[in-house]
Each structure stands twice: as C-alpha cells, then as structure tokens.
Structure 1
Amino acid sequence: MAPPSYASRLPPAPDEPARGDTDSPSPVSSAARLIARVRAILADKSESRLAQLVAGKVFLVRVASALLALVSQVLLARFMGAYEFGIYIYVWTWVLMIGALSDMGLSSAARRFIPEYTELKAFDHLRGFIAGSRWLAFGIASAIGAVGAVGVWLLQDVINHYTVIPLYLACLTIPIYGLVQTQAGIAQSYDWPNLALMPFYIWRQLAITVAMGAAWLFGAPTDAVTAMIVAVATTWLVTLGQLVMLERRLKRKVEPGPKTYEPKTWLATSLPIFVVEGFYLLLTYVDILMLEQMRSPQDVAVYYAGARLLAIVAFVYFAIAGATTHKFTQYYVAGDKERLATFFKETTRWTFWPSLAICAVILAFGYPLLGLFGPNFGEGYVVMFILAVGMLARAAVGPAERLLNMLGDRKQCASIYALAFAINLALCLVLIPRLGIEGAAISTSTALVVESIMLYVTAKRRLGFHVFIVGSSKRSP
C-alpha cells in the first residue's frame, strides 16, 4: 500500500471542512474566502494589474461614451432628420479624421518620450516635452485648420453646396483638436485615463446633445450648421477646462526646473507615427467619405448608425492600447524583452475575448437598437455583421501596431496601413455602386482582415513575437 502523500497529512485549513466531511462549506467560510480573494486582488500592485485597472477605466469611459453617443446620435437624428443628420455626420467625419492627425503624432509620441525620459531620469527633457509638445501641436493644428479653410474656399464651386458652411465651421475645430490630442497622450502616459478621455468623449457629447435639444425645444434651427456651431463651441470649452486640470496634476507629479526643448527629435519620432495613424484613419473613415460621394445623405446616416452601434467593440482595443503602449516602451528601454513578450500576450487576451463577448451581445440586439434612430435605419443591420468580422480580426492580434511603433518599426506599420487603405478604397469604388452600404462594409472588413494578417506576419518576422490570440507566448530565438 502506498504511503499517504504529504498533502494528505496536512491539517485542514481553518475555513475548510476536514477530509471526509461531506457537509457543504458554511456561508461564513464562503464569505471569508470571497473577502480574502477580493483583498488579494486589491493588494496586487503588479504592473499587469495596474495596466488592467487603467484599461478597465479607459474601457468604462469609452463604454459610457458609446452609450452617451448612442443616445446623442438618436436624439440628433430625431431633432435634425436623416438628411441634415447625414450632412452633419459627413462633416464631423472630416473633423475626426483631420483632427486626429492635427498633432502630427505628438500624442502617441508622448507615450514614447514620457516613460523614456522618466526611466532615464532626464527630467529637463521631460519638462520640456510636456510644455513644448502642446504648443507645437496647437500651432501645427492651427496651420492645418487655416489650410483647410482655404481649401474649402477654393473648392466651394465643386463640393456640395449644403456642406460649405459646415466645413468652414469644421476648420475652426481643428486647432483645439491638436491640443486635446496631445493632452490626452500626456495624461494617459501618467495613467490618468479619466482626465485623458472624459472631457472630449463625455462632457463634449453631453453639451452638444443638451444644446441641440434646447434649440429643438425652443424652435430654433436644428440643421447641420447649428450642430457644427455647437460642436465648435463645446470642443474649445472642454479642452481649455482639460488644460487647467492637467496643469494642476502635473505640478504635483513633475518637479519644477529647467526645460530642454527638442522639437526636431520629437517630430523625427512622431512623424512616422503620424504616417501610420494617417493611413489608419483613412482606412477607418474612407467608407463614410466614399458613401457621401456615391450615395445619398440618408444612406450615410444609416451606415453610420450601424457602424456606431458596433463601435463599442473597438473601444476594448483602444482601451487596452491606451493603457499599455507606454509600458511597451518602458520594458524595451529597460531591456526586459521576455517581460515585454509576455506582457503583450496578456494584452492580446485582454483585447480579444471581451471584444468577442461584446460583439455577440450587440449583434443580438442590433436591430431594435437601429430602430431607435428612426424608420429605415434597420437596413444597417447587415452592415453590423459584416463589420464585426474585420473588428474581431483586428482584436485577435491585440495592439500589434502600437508595439511595432514603439519599438521602431514604423515604416513597416506605415506600409501595412497604406496597403490596407488602398484595398479599402479600391473595393469601395467597385462595391459601393453595386451593393450600396453593404459594399462599403465588405470593403472595410476585408481591409481590416488583411491588415491584421500583415501585422501578425511583421511582428513575427521582425520582433520574434507571436501576436495572435492562439499560440505560444514565447519569443522566437
């Protein structure tokens, strides 16, 4: 007979029944174990746990933003009607695309320079970047806004007449957009997700909805021009408020002292990131822009409604990327390649499985949610299923392009996004005239699948990282 094992000779734990005791654990012991588990989670101060908590906060803000945006877009569609709403969506898409690029990649560069300067204890460079990057971004964005206004003036006889005034107003939003982008990058580098995201994604949307609701209630115009005036005013106000709050926090975090400004170094790093983000945004918004050229404003509104409902899936990706990108730089600068590989594998799991679950829930209730926008918006239901394929493909490789960017493979990222954009544009030109909004969705989803495959291959070949959701977390030798 085999001797009893060491584990069998141990006395029972205080809150566990003895071996052979067939009675169920008491409610008191179950509660004690639950409390102990919660305490262990709260006591976990590891960087992985911190990244999860920050990503969770980012995701909650983006989810709240998505829910608020859903309510806001439904109300705006009701206030404005499908035609004016479609015009507003078209113009605001230009704002989102150009505004997101107006900082020339400095917001993403903040996640590179702030942890690097902090790790190297180059505090004069750190102070210089925190102050100088914001002024640089605001100046660049102001120049872009001015060029945009001149472009609208030169092309006003060519573009649709009903978009001219809203496009002029959109140009007034661009300068402050460059500042809000850079401030968000700085705040996220210090793990302040609420300060980074809430002003633009929560307070601005809430203010627009309230203002347009007041206009509708009191009989004032609720057309695209009015909506853009409100959007310009609210964007400036919330960004200036964010500036004040960020300054207060930075004074407690960074000691005052001399500043070293290196704009050439900053731009040398940020411009390749800008190219990558530029192609990414073109890839993201080309479907709506091409629809506006080939279909009616009503079709744009229906497509946008379907894509907007599904956008909450992408928020998981952006939450994880925003919370972890600066950690990639930190581990890389410290030379901890194994930790970097393991940490990235964790981020891939954090990205994919929640994305899959949320996608299933949204698709299950998508049709009645589309009905909230008004009659005929249910035509966007098929669009949601098509777009879901591409979004899950992107989630399956985690924030791979952020990893490549932070580790210096920016040219490869730019090439990948350029090819994906070209595929999307070419397919839109072919499929939208034939299939309408479904053609736009097929084009975008196909481009996202191709992009994800190329990111996986590039990361495997150049870094030795396995970035797919299924597979080993080990680095290749």
Structure 2
Amino acid sequence: MLDAAIAFAIRVLSAGLVFGLQVLLARLMPLEGYGGFVTLWTWLLAIGSFAALGFAESSVRFLPRYRARGREAQVRAYWRYGLRAVVLGSLALAVLALILAFVLGTRTEPGLIVLYVAIGLPFLAVEYYLEGVARSFGWFRLTTVPVYIVRPLLIGAICLAIHFSGVPLTLPVVGAAVVGSMALVSCGLAIVLALRMRGASAEQKPTSATGNLWLRASLPLLLVSGLEDLLAYCDVLILSLMLPGEDVGLYFAAARALALTNFVYYAMYLVSGRRFALDMADADKSRLQRSVREASRLTFWLTVVAVVVTLAAGPILLRAFGPEFVAAYPVMAILALGHIARAASGQAGELLVVAGRQRESIFIGLGVLALNVALTVAFVLAFGLFGAAIGTALALAGRSVALAFVVRRTTGISAVSLGLPSMKKPRG
C-alpha cells in the first residue's frame, strides 16, 4: 500500500510535468507541427517496448525469486545478459528503421519521423529494460523519477532555451531535443543501476542453458508488452494515417488531459508484479488471491476518483493547450469511460505475465488489438475524432472481460473485485 502510494504520488507529479510539457509545445509550435511531434512521440512509445525484447517484463518474473532465494549470482548474470541482449536487439531494429527512413526520404515528414524513431529506439529500449529491473527490486522511485520527472523537465528546459534563443521550434528541432533527453536519462539510469548492482556476486556466469531459458521466457513477453503499448497508442497512430495533423493534435490533447488516470493504473502496475512474484515464490495461493483482490480494488477506485476529478477540470485543462482544443472535451469524456472499464480487471494482465502465461497474454493482446483497429477505423470513418474514442473505449472494455475470464480459467484467481480497498498493510 505504501509503495503504491509513493509511486502514485510520483506519477501525479509526473502527470503535471508531462501535461505542462505538452501545453508548452502546443503553445510554442504551430498546430500542424505539434501534430507531427505527437506522431513521433506516439510511434516511439508504441514500438519502444518491442526493442526491449521482453526483458523488462521477464525481469519481474525472475529477479524477485532469485533474490528471495539468495541467488545473487543469478541476479547479476541476468542483469548483464539482459542488457547485452536489449542493446544488440534494439540496434538491429534501429538499422532497419534507418533504411526505411532513407527510402521514404528524410526531407519528408514521414521519413523524418522514422529517422528520429531509429535514433531514439536503442535509448528507449534500454530505458524500458532498466525500468523493469528497478521495478523487480522494488526500487520504485528509481523506476519513476528519471523517466517521468527528469526527462520531461529536460525536454522542456531544452525547448525553452531554444525558443528564447530565437530558433523556431520545428519538428526536427523538437525531435532532436526529445531523443537527446532520452539518451541522457537512459545512460544516467544505467550508471546508477550498475553501481547498485555491484554488491551482487560476480562469481557465477550464466550457462548457455540459463541464457536460453531467459531468452525463451522473454521473447514471448516482447509480444505481450508490445501489443499492450500498441493498444494504448493505436488510436493516435490510426488517426495519424487517416486525418490531418491538426486533428491528431486535438485528439492527443484530450488523451493527455486524462494522464492522471493512466498513472493510477501504472502506479499499481509498478508494485503489483513484484508482490505477485513473491506470493508465487512462497506457493501461497490464498495470499496471492488477497494481493490480486487488493490490487484490483485500488486500481479501480483510484481510477474512478481520478476520472471524476479530471473530467471536472477538463475544459480548463484543454483550454491550456489553446482555445481550439476545448472542442475535444467529448473525446476526453468517452476515453474516460474506457479507462474505467480497463481498471475493472485490475492488474490481471501483470498476473498472467508473472505466472508465465505468455501464450494467453499474447492471444488476448492480438485479439484486443485487432478489435481496437477494426472498431477505430470503422468509427473514425463514421464519426471522425469521436469515432476513435468510441472504438478505443469499447476495446478496453473487451480487454477487461477477456483478462478476467482467462485469469480465472488458468490460475483459479478472481481478478475482478470492486469492493472498497482494505487499509491493512500486506505482508512483504
């Protein structure tokens, strides 16, 4: 409970910083330029987890159990093996993206966006992996502060300095600021984690069989995490392909105004995976059920509170971007209903990952993504921006139903619990 409260408080602060950054860029850039930045930012976040090859998620499965059983040599071996795999894998993907960028032409906006995605992808992949490692050890402030507080402050400071120097904030300029900030944060986080990991035993090296085990466990999670991110951003990605940049900017502003509700979900995600892993290491199913129940209740009710507060302040939040953005309030309201529907299943998705149910997670992710794409395209053709919000909300509701059903069937754990959360401090 305390860990979740700390993570939530940090993410609330982060929500304000990220929102302020988006408002700053919307004010300083022309609307079509801001739409291009939104497209770049969304593509980076949507495919960044693919480049981490699933090691961010598998670290939460393996590292808490290794540490609970005193296997510190395996902890350090996993850390080194995973970092090496993520760096090599992300560089390979970056080369492919670079080729595509030059095929499209870097003087065109699509080619320029792909170029920046290629440059930023390795840094973002390492960042995802390091977040997973820190989360697996319960270092929640290290997981959140560099990425969600330091990075937006860096981007904002760089963009303000450029603006006051008289240089226009165009897409190439802002793209360079974003990628440079990602590089600084990921390198700094890697140094801090490396220093913290020095205390673990370095005597034992992973055998090829152990490395293969980690790789086999991680690669399916590449699809799980990647599909989750695509689901989170596919509405914006589809809009970027179907509607002008101005409309994409309006929709993105509505989605960013709901960032607080997303951060509630993420705060519980940060602490739940480790808790589930420790309960499974002790083979205590009753305690696991209690942990899942409390995670579900906290996720749901904190999301409801966040949605109510955010919608009440919605017109003010949207007007901060500019007067024209207030027209996106109905989009914001529809998306809010989708966030509540997603929260109803609590942290069922994280439970499947920790339990090693990657295949079921992949099937759910593929099914929900296909549903989201189909609904969003159909509704965008019929209703424009509002259609994207409707399709996304319906897909999130379908995700909750599918996760709750599969978790119950495969683990015997009930993932949906809408009662008020307990204030008792859980074990561990």
* TM-score (normalised: structure 2): 0.94
Cα distance, 1:432 vs structure 2: 0.8
Map 1:26-45 to 2 at 5 A: none
Conserved 8 A contact 1:114-1:189: yes
The aligned counterpart of 2:118 is 171
Cα distance, 1:120 vs structure 2: 3.3
The aligned counterpart of 2:192 is 245
Partners in 2 of 1:432 and 1:394 — Cα distance? 21
Map 1:51-130 to 2 at 5 A: 52-130=1-79
Task: Give RMSD over aligned pairs.
Answer: 1.8
Cα distance, 1:379 vs structure 2: 1.5
* 1:265 and 2:213 matched: yes
Partners in 2 of 1:366 and 1:152 — Cα distance? 38
The aligned counterpart of 1:366 is 314
Map 1:395-474 to 2 at 5 A: 395-470=343-418
* 1:286 and 2:244 matched: no
- CA deviation string 1:131-185 (max 9, x = no partner): 221121111111111111112223449xx92232232122111111111111111
SS in 2 for 1:372: helix
Conserved 8 A contact 1:331-1:337: yes
5+ unaligned residues in a row in structure 1: which ranges?
1-51
Question: Relative contact order (C-alpha < 8 Å, sep 6+): which is higher?
Answer: 2
Q: Choose 1 or 2 for highest CA Rg.
A: 1
Partners in 2 of 1:337 and 1:367 — Cα distance? 46
Cα distance, 1:469 vs structure 2: 2.3
Partners in 1 of 2:364 and 2:173 — Cα distance? 39
Deviates more, 1:463-472 or 1:312-321: 463-472
Cα distance, 1:63 vs structure 2: 1.4
Conserved 8 A contact 2:297-2:418: no
The aligned counterpart of 1:21 is none
Partners in 1 of 2:182 and 2:131 — Cα distance? 14
Conserved 8 A contact 2:352-2:407: yes
Partners in 2 of 1:272 and 1:161 — Cα distance? 35
Partners in 2 of 1:182 and 1:439 — Cα distance? 35
- Tell me which amino acid in the other structure corresponds to 2:359: K
Conserved 8 A contact 1:99-1:178: yes
5+ unaligned residues in a row in structure 2: which ranges?
422-428
Partners in 1 of 2:4 and 2:218 — Cα distance? 23
Instruction: Pick the aligned partner of 2:261 from 313, 318, 343.
Output: 313
Partners in 2 of 1:178 and 1:272 — Cα distance? 16
SS in 2 for 1:376: helix
The aligned counterpart of 2:102 is 153
Cα distance, 1:90 vs structure 2: 0.3
SS in 1 for 2:138: coil
Partners in 1 of 2:169 and 2:418 — Cα distance? 50
- CA deviation string 1:232-267 (max 9, x = no partner): 111111211111211222234x24433325332112
- Tell me which amino acid in the other structure corresponds to 2:149: I
Map 1:218-237 to 2 at 5 A: 218-237=165-184
1:391–1:411 Cα change, 3 Å: same
Cα distance, 1:299 vs structure 2: 0.5
Partners in 2 of 1:401 and 1:426 — Cα distance? 22
Conserved 8 A contact 1:126-1:259: no
Of all paired residues, the percent bearing the same amino acid is 32
* TM-score (normalised: structure 1): 0.85
The aligned counterpart of 2:337 is 389
Conserved 8 A contact 2:138-2:274: no
- CA deviation string 1:101-139 (max 9, x = no partner): 211110111111101222333332221001221121111
Aligned residue pairs total: 419
The aligned counterpart of 1:338 is 286
Conserved 8 A contact 1:112-1:406: yes
Partners in 2 of 1:168 and 1:162 — Cα distance? 10
The aligned counterpart of 1:216 is 163
SS in 1 for 2:218: helix
Map 1:9-24 to 2 at 5 A: none
SS in 2 for 1:461: helix
Partners in 1 of 2:374 and 2:215 — Cα distance? 31
The aligned counterpart of 2:135 is 188
Cα distance, 1:188 vs structure 2: 1.1
- CA deviation string 1:270-312 (max 9, x = no partner): 1221111222122111111111111110110110000011121
* 1:275 and 2:196 matched: no
Conserved 8 A contact 1:310-1:362: yes
Partners in 1 of 2:5 and 2:87 — Cα distance? 30
SS in 2 for 1:465: coil
- CA deviation string 1:359-378 (max 9, x = no partner): 10000010111001012101
- Tell me which amino acid in the other structure corresponds to 2:130: Q
Conserved 8 A contact 2:101-2:112: no
Partners in 1 of 2:382 and 2:274 — Cα distance? 44
Conserved 8 A contact 2:376-2:391: yes
The aligned counterpart of 1:142 is 91
Partners in 2 of 1:297 and 1:133 — Cα distance? 38
Partners in 1 of 2:367 and 2:25 — Cα distance? 35
